[in-house]
Structures are given as structure tokens and as C-alpha cells.
Structure 1
Amino acid sequence: MSASRLRPQQLDRAFAVVREGIERGEAGPSVMAVADGREIIRQEAISPPDGDVQVDLDAIFLTASITKPFIGTAIMQLAEQGRLLISDPVTRYVPEFGRFGKEAVTIWHLLTHTSGLAEEVWESLWEEEAPASAHLEAACNAFLHFPPGTQWEYCNVSFWVLAEIITRVSGKSYVDYLYHHILEPLEMRDTAFDFEGEQARRMVPVDIVQPILKGKEGAAYFRSLALPAGGLYSTAADLVKFGQAILNGLLGREHTIVSQAGIATMTRLHTEGIRERNTGRLAFYGLGWDKPGGDARFLGTPAAFGHGGATATLLWIEPNHDLVFVFLTNQFGQENRVACMALNAVLGAL
């Protein structure tokens, strides 16, 4: 069944899942939206009854790693323009990245988290409140923990390198590139790395569940980084616009920001047969997009794709059901279990 045939009341259970999760303390104030390729079928803002933070539908949340598909989309646009190949070595565009034996790393490796770079490279920089340039420099000076393409390890620092490629190839900063080539064309006016004025007042403060970043993700330092791995703030309605553009482009309904061929390439499984470095489990990842794994955490079909974030957020697209799902909340370090259960309840209503 297509999501376009859903009636709002058929989603009662899915929204009840969110309320129950908030009551258990597994989610903070949240906005959830369910849409098809044309319109939002239902969206609600749900807050803890006695909580200090109450949100409306236009609340602006830190999306965290939902930022990664935006970077992946920008890279794909440049590939469609004939300005780079996904298979190109990174050193073609960022020569200094080749230090210490990284010459074989390609753009594909960065997008799929199979480069051999390790997350430790990135984490130590937060203690020092290092500037953005130091994050890129750390990636260039890093050693590989495994040969490129042989294992999978989730790595945020890779996206600093991808952002630098966008900047050098396009001639614009990656922040400006995202604005002019993705956010502005889709009229995503409530999406940015930082805000001022009225929009700043709508930004939902981040609740630290696990102090991985010691509170800095809510501070001016974090926002000043314009973190390409996870710094975008957005509303549920804006993320629906992005999801609809990707969904409709994939289904051949319209070509807005990426071609059908480009979206199909980004969102298919690229890591077949590659195992996670730390767990030995098979990895399920596209080009900047997550894929449903073998543990049945997500119901649905192998065609689905999306991305979660460290603030327990989730953007998920199920093309076989014409579905765009968005869940935003503010709990940094909390598992996005509530989002996954709510998504499964939506799929269960189809």
C-alpha cells in the first residue's frame, strides 16, 4: 500500500508510540512528520507535559548526522556535472590528504565509511575547541587503520574531507554550495548550520544524555564549525521537502536537485560483503545514506534508505511505499529507538 492512501487517523498508533517514548524518558520534545511524495499526511509536535521545553511544528532541531546525506547529495551533483568521479582518489582534489599512505583512498571510500580513517582522529579535537581547519588537517595527517575498502568503520572526520572537495571543485565554500544548490532550490528556509533572530529563538536546546561532546554541541563553538558530518539544524517540514525531492527524483516524477540515476546510485547498497571493523557484522551503507540492515530493526523493503543522528533523529524514505518519514528530537547520545518504533508503526499501518 502506498502512503498516499493513508488517512491521518490510521497513524494514531505511530504517534502514540512517540508519546509513550517521551513518557519513558526515551525521547525529548519531538516533532514527527509522515508524508508521501506530494504532501504531509500528518505531523505533530509532542512535548513532555511537565517539561521545561515545549515545541511547536516549526521548532528547529539539531539534525546531527542527517547532515551526511546533504554532503553526499552535493558530491553527487558535482559528479553529474562531470566535475569529479566518485571513484577518483581524494588526492586529485586534496593533495595533502595523501600523507602517510592514504593515496589509495577514493571519494567512494569516504562516502561509504570504508576509507580506513578512524573516529579517534576526530574526537580529541573537541577537547581543544579546535577550529574547523584543524579538523581537516587532522584527517590529512591521520594514518589508516585498515586498507581502504576492506572494512567498515563509521567516521565523521571523512566528511571534513568531502566538504573540502566540494569547496575546491565548486569554488564555493561547502556551506554556500549547500545553500545555493540544495536548500534554496527546495525552499528549505529553516535549515542552516546556525541562525539569528526569530529562527534562533525556535532552536531547541540539546539535552545531553551521554556527554560524548561534553555539552559543546549546544554551544557557539559547535555551531561555528558548520560541521559537515552533523551540524545542520532543521525543521520536520524542511526535512520532508528534502526527502520528497529525493523520493520523487528516484521514482522519476521530477528532477529537482539530483537526477534519477544519481539518486539510484547514492541510495543502493554499496557495502555488500564488507564487515564492520569492531563488530564483524555486515555493513549496510550507500553513498552518504544508511540502508536497512540484516537485524530487521526497520520494517520495509531493501529499497529503503535514510539516516539517523546522534540527537535520536531519523529521516527515512521507503520508495516502494511512497513514504517520507521524519522524526526530530533533542536527546544527544540517546539511541533513536523511539524513532524506529514509530517508523515501524507507520509501515504497519500501510
Structure 2
Amino acid sequence: MRIPALTAAAALLTSLTLPLSGAAAAAPAGHAPHSARFDQPSTAFAPAGTVLRPGTPGEAGLDPAPIDAFERQMAGWEDPAAGAGYLFPGATTLMAHDGVVVERGAGGYAVKYADATTTLPQDQWIPARTDTIYDLASLSKLFTSIVAMQQLQAGRIDLDTPVAHYIPEFAANGKGGITIRQLLTHTSGFDADPVPSLWQGYPDIASREQAVLDAKPINPPGTTYLYSDLNMLSMQLVLQKVTGRPLDALVRDDITAPLHMTDTGYNPPAAEKSRIAATEYQTSPARGMVWGQVHDENAWALGGVAGHAGVFSTADDLAVLAQTILNGGIYKGHRILSGTSVRLMEQNFNQAFPSDSHGLGFELDQIWYMGGLSGPQTLGHTGFTGTSLVIDPQSRSFVILLSNRVHPSRNTPSTNPPRRAIAEAMAQAMPVSAPGGGPLWHSGQGGNTTSTLTTGPLTAAAKVDVDFSAFVNTESTDLLSVEDSTDGGTTWHALPLTVTGTGAPAGTPAALSGQAVRAWWHVHAEVPQPAGALQLRWRYSTDPVYEGRGVDLAHLSVTAGGRTVPGSCALTPAGAWQQVRATAPLS
């Protein structure tokens, strides 16, 4: 059974291992709560004194319904009886807004299987808990990246200096021009993985590190985006060279110790094994059930400490790291990054590769797992074991999903639906309000659906003006249009739209979409003198893939000659449209 959100929040108060403040703790001096509204994005860091504290969604100004619905979804994804809907044995989740932890839950099992097909006796199953320690897989890259930012601050490395300046042997096989920036943005030209694998082709750690230095690119540097573990393996070697310290010591001394992230690090102690989620039963290499050791074979071959994988952590510890980033690099008085460094992690260095936005180490604006929280500044990463972290500076929110989806086998369905769902729940929980007040219509529908909001038959003897305010937070292929019909609704035609406001599209588009700007737009359309009875409808259609938060409409007005067209106030919603607040006329 999944621990429900409110129960988890209560448990937060008494946890001895939790690095969050107690519920009775007041907001720190100088903390100005950010508006919970999704349509009022922040451009500044959260106050430096912001400290995580438990609270209900209502106390954070959020709607609890989307969060409760997400909890119910998670229970299904953790339930083998769900059939094809079963995604992982267990998971832990955490959601926070403006320093308030509004959801902290766990469900399913951290350990359940003896091998690839056999479950353990049921009395040996270990439930997933809110303090379960998970193998973060590629979320480990974020720790390597933060260490890199620290060395950039210290002047030990430079973004546009070739890696070979720090490690001359790296220049082998045409790599002399690869820069630190290209490692951190995955534009170095490396293949996705070492070939052969480090654990297969080399006898010891020294030869495996040399294999990284000897790796040959498959593309010229700077010409291609290709996500590659070799980038962070190379970054690890640079960091160790310029500091004279191993990566695990750098992460411990400069990140986890200052932030009191006591459950985070490489090669977790054996004494904590009962708290660690098991991963895969591996036969090649013949490791058996991997439990308490890093899942990634190349990281395992490097002794468990690698630039691309190897970090274990809890949702609570990752929450502290996320809030540190929202605070501009500081938490409880301990600064690990300058504000400038955090801004660099939020800056898109991959504008030449539009679908692969990337800061220094962090991925940016990836709707495929960031869902409704995605935006140009939204930072995050995923991990192969079934983990994800999404940090949204504009709403001062973050969401964490940790799972053991590779237990007992990596041959499982994609974890992307729950990754998107937790982000979508947070985005939907934040309210949107009509500019200047008043009711609004909202549609936050799922994929491959269409919703319409239709007037009754209208009679107008002159040109009809259609005006409304729109807040559009959708995937680029999920479109809002305004259509007219003069044959009783048999055929519909999209009207050209004139849009004004921050970030509004130029020209007269036939439909609206976009997540780049969280702003209300004023939209105008015209219908020349109708030839017969006129109907109008607002149509929102999504494709089968991803969605944003959705569409909100306010201040709908249909006029002719400056007067409201009779009958335009009667609207018929179909699909997901729902009116927020009391019924009111169009104009």
C-alpha cells in the first residue's frame, strides 16, 4: 500500500534522519513566500534563507486534487495486478513548492526478487519507505557537474579550454579540440558508451581510466548533440587531475557534507543495506542480484565511483540539493555554488540543437519527462534505474521520483509516464487566475484528445469581433484554435488570430501553443459578415505524446458593432473544459 501524502507529511515531523526543518519552525527571517500562481513566474532565486518544511498543499496555496490523483496513479504503477500498467516494484516521491514539502510518499517494495524471475519469500520483502536509499544512476552526473562548477568558480578549469590542456593524453585519437563546455553539454562528439565496455575490455581500474582517455570520437566536436557517459567519465578525470582529490571525496567534502546530505554518496556502507533498494539480477557480468552496489557495470568496474553513475541517495537528501539550487546555491547558510554558477546551469548552451537544450550538466526544457513544469529554465535529469529530478525556478518548485524499475530486470516498460505525471501534478496544483479577476475556463487534458467550448447559434448582421485572454502552456503540437461554422456545426474553419502580450507569436497564426512563456495573451479574431447562422468554438487538441499544464481562457467576448451578440453567453463544453469559479457571461 502506498503511504498517502498526508500521512507522509505527518511522518516528516518525526523522522530522525530527515534533514528538513520541523513543522513548527517558522519561515526564516526575510523569507517572502512566492505566489503559488503558475501564471506569475518568478525571475529571482528563492530567498537564501528558504528551508524545507512540511505542509499541506493548501498551506502552500496549491490545489490538493492533482496531487491526490497522482498518488492514486502511483499506487497502480506499483501494483503487479495492474498488468501492463505495472512499472516498478517500488518508488518514493517528493514534491515541494516555495520550500513547503507538499507530498512525500512511498509504495511497493524496495526488495522483492531473488533472481530474474523468482520472488523472495514474502516475509523477506522489504517495503519501499520515504527514507529508502536508491541508486540514482545518471542523476550522478549532476554531482559531477556541480563539482565542475565549483572548480570553474575557483579558476581551476575554464569552459572553453581544451580538456587536453589539463590532461595531455586526452588529445589522443583526434580529441585535442574538445573543450570542458562540450563535455558538460554532451556536444563533444563521443559515442554514447565506451566500446568495448570498461568491465569487459580491461583488467583493472588504471587500464579502464586509460581507455576513457584513449576513446575516439564518432563526430567532430561541437557538431552533434549525443548524450554520452564518456563525457562525464572524462570530466571526472579532469576534476581529479586539477584538484588532486578523487571524485567521491570532492562530492562528499564540497556538496554532501556542507548540505548535511548524510544518506548520499558512492558505495553505501553495508550497515545501510536494509534501507537500499535492490536493482537488477545480472548474469553478464555474473553479479547476481545487485543490491547495495552500483547497478551500472562501467561504474562498478571503476570501483563504484564514476563521473556518470554511482551516487546513492534518498528523496529527502535530493530535496535539499534541489532547494539549494532554487536558493541560488545556498542552504541553511552553507553555500556550495555562487548565484552566477546556478544561472550558468540554467542557461541553454545548446541553441544549435533546439530539441536538446542543455545547461552545464543539467538538461533543460525536456517535456518528455518534465511535463507541465518544463520551460526554458527548468533543470533536471533522469537515471536508468528509474529516477528523475525536475527543478522549476519559475515556480520555485521541484519534484523527485525514485524507483527501482530495473528490479529484477531492465526489460521493463518506460518510467516516463510517472516522471511526467508527478511534474504534471505539481503544475496542475498551482492555480492560474484570470487577469483582473473573473471566471475562467480550463482544459488540462490527456494526450490524443480534443475539447471544445461552443456557442449556440448566433445572429449578427455585421462583422463579429471575438476577444479573449488565453494562458497557453502546451506542447508545440498541442493546439488551441478558434473556429467558426455557418452550417450548423457540420464544418468548421479556423480563424486567423491576432495575439498580443509577452512572448506572443507574431503574425496571425491559426492556432496557439507553447511553453516558453508563462504569460497571459490577449487574442482577437474577426468573422466577416456571417452568411447565415453563426457558431463559434474554442478547440483544444492534443497529440498522443506529451502535454503541458493545459489552456486557460478568460474574458471571452463576442461582439458586433460594439454590442454583445445575443446567445453568445451560452457555452457548451465538451471534453475536458471546465469552468473555474462561478458562471458568468462572456462579456
Q: Same fold (TM over 0.5)?
A: yes
SS in 1 for 2:327: helix
Aligned AA for 2:346? T
Name which structure has the greater RCO, CA cutoff 8 Å, separation 6+.
1
Matching of residue 64 in structure 1 with residue 120 in structure 2: no
**2:17 — aligned with what?**
none
Question: Hey, what's the Cα distance between the residues in 1 that align with 2:429 and 2:270?
Answer: 40
User: What is the percentage of aligned positions where both structures have the same residue?
Assistant: 24
Evaluate the alpha carbon distance shift between residue 131 and residue 318 of structure 1 in structure 2; reply closer, same or farther with a 3 A threshold: farther
Question: Hey, what's the Cα distance between the residues in 2 that align with 1:123 and 1:13?
Answer: 45
Structure 1 segments unaligned to the other structure (5+ residues): 276-281
Aligned AA for 1:11? I
Evaluate the alpha carbon distance shift between residue 108 and residue 235 of structure 1 in structure 2; reply closer, same or farther with a 3 A threshold: same
Q: Please, which of 404, 408, 423 is the counterpart of residue 343 of structure 1?
A: 423
Matching of residue 230 in structure 1 with residue 309 in structure 2: yes
Aligned AA for 1:70? F
In the superposition, the TM-score normalised over structure 1's length comes to 0.88
The Cα offsets for residues 151-205 of structure 1, whole Å up to 9 and x where unpaired, read as 0111102211111111111121111011000010110100111122432321110
Check the 8 A contact 1:191/1:233 in 2, yes or no: yes
**1:306 — aligned with what?**
380
**1:272 — aligned with what?**
351
**2:337 — aligned with what?**
258
**1:173 — aligned with what?**
246
SS in 1 for 2:271: helix
Of Structure 1 and Structure 2, which has the larger fraction of its residues in helix?
1
Evaluate the alpha carbon distance shift between residue 217 and residue 341 of structure 1 in structure 2; reply closer, same or farther with a 3 A threshold: farther
Question: Hey, what's the Cα distance between the residues in 1 that align with 2:101 and 2:284?
Answer: 34
Aligned AA for 1:340? R
Check the 8 A contact 1:122/1:138 in 2, yes or no: no
Question: Hey, what's the Cα distance between the residues in 1 that align with 2:136 and 2:368?
Answer: 24
Aligned AA for 2:77? G
> Greater CA deviation, 285-294 or 184-193?
285-294
Query: How many angstroms does 1:130 deviate by?
Result: 5.1
**2:102 — aligned with what?**
41
Matching of residue 5 in structure 1 with residue 84 in structure 2: no
Matching of residue 249 in structure 1 with residue 328 in structure 2: yes
Aligned AA for 1:41? V
Question: Hey, what's the Cα distance between the residues in 2 that align with 1:311 and 1:46?
Answer: 16
**1:87 — aligned with what?**
160
Check the 8 A contact 2:136/2:383 in 1, yes or no: yes
Q: Please, what is the CA RMSD of the aligned residues?
A: 2.9
Question: Hey, what's the Cα distance between the residues in 2 that align with 1:255 and 1:261?
Answer: 16
Matching of residue 182 in structure 1 with residue 259 in structure 2: no
Check the 8 A contact 2:166/2:242 in 1, yes or no: yes
Query: How many angstroms does 1:68 deviate by?
Result: 0.8
Q: Please, which of 282, 286, 291 is the counterpart of residue 364 of structure 2?
A: 291
Query: How many angstroms does 1:20 deviate by?
Result: 2.0
**2:189 — aligned with what?**
116
Matching of residue 18 in structure 1 with residue 18 in structure 2: no
Of Structure 1 and Structure 2, which has the larger fraction of its residues in strand?
2
Question: Hey, what's the Cα distance between the residues in 2 that align with 1:320 and 1:114?
Answer: 27
Question: How many pairs are equivalent?
Answer: 343
Question: Hey, what's the Cα distance between the residues in 2 that align with 1:312 and 1:49?
Answer: 13
Query: How many angstroms does 1:319 deviate by?
Result: 0.8
SS in 2 for 1:249: coil
Q: Which has the larger radius of gyration?
A: 2
Query: How many angstroms does 1:19 deviate by?
Result: 1.4
Query: How many angstroms does 1:6 deviate by?
Result: 2.9
> Greater CA deviation, 310-319 or 1-10?
1-10
Aligned AA for 1:236? A
Question: Hey, what's the Cα distance between the residues in 1 that align with 2:111 and 2:252?
Answer: 37
Evaluate the alpha carbon distance shift between residue 134 and residue 6 of structure 1 in structure 2; reply closer, same or farther with a 3 A threshold: farther
> Greater CA deviation, 28-37 or 88-97?
28-37
Question: Hey, what's the Cα distance between the residues in 2 that align with 1:123 and 1:297?
Answer: 33
Question: Hey, what's the Cα distance between the residues in 2 that align with 1:212 and 1:197?
Answer: 23
Question: Hey, what's the Cα distance between the residues in 1 that align with 2:242 and 2:98?
Answer: 32
Structure 2 segments unaligned to the other structure (5+ residues): 1-35, 38-56, 80-84, 113-124, 431-587
Q: Please, which of 89, 102, 116 is the counterpart of residue 28 of structure 1?
A: 89
Evaluate the alpha carbon distance shift between residue 214 and residue 247 of structure 1 in structure 2; reply closer, same or farther with a 3 A threshold: farther
